Amino acid sequence: KAGVTQTPRYLIKTRGQQVTLSCSPISGHRSVSWYQQTPGQGLQFLFEYFSETQRNKGNFPGRFSGRQFSNSRSEMNVSTLELGDSALYLCASSLEGEGVGELFFGEGSRLTVL
């Protein structure tokens, strides 16, 4: 069974640009969550999607958005990038949803904003 796949793995952007990250969950998993990981703030919850609906949202500005498609694949978008958005963005999938069962994390997309 293939794991969670995230693309791209690495990317460099400049301030003001926007970025789209993609996540393909494990086959059969309907829940996809996104996290931002930085050395100073640890793992911060961005949002969770379940069956194409955003079920939970973290405390991030509206520049951070996401969506989930009918095949459970998910994308997250960050607009008007700021230097502080440099981070590892992790996607995690699960069968039922956050906190109910284990999360399976992807390798992450490392974003650098210059």
Partner 1 sequence: GQQVMQIPQYQHVQEGEDFTTYCNSSTTLSNIQWYKQRPGGHPVFLIQLVKSGEVKKQKRLTFQFGEAKKNSSLHITATQTTDVGTYFCALRRGGAQKLVFGQGTRLTINP
Structure tokens at 48: 């969770």
User: Residue 51: which of 2, 88, 82, 95 has the closest Cα?
Assistant: 95
Stretch that binds partner 1, among 13-21, 22-30, 66-74, 99-107 (CB under 8 A): 99-107
Instruction: Give yes or no for residue 104 binding partner 1 (CB under 8 A).
Output: yes
Instruction: Give yes or no for residue 25 binding partner 1 (CB under 8 A).
Output: no
* Residue with tokens 């793995």, as numbered in its chain: 9
Q: Which of residues 58-77 bind partner 1 (CB under 8 A)?
A: 58
Of 55, 65, 73, 75, which one interacts with partner 1 (CB under 8 A)? Answer: 55
* 31 DSSP β-pair partners: 50, 94
What Cα–Cα distance (Å) separates residue 8 from each residue in 19, 24, 41, 85, 95? 10, 12, 23, 16, 24
Stretch that binds partner 1, among 11-19, 39-47, 62-70, 77-85 (CB under 8 A): 39-47
Q: Could you list the residues that contact partner 1 (CB under 8 A)?
A: 33, 35, 42-43, 45, 48, 55-56, 58, 90, 92, 97-99, 101-108
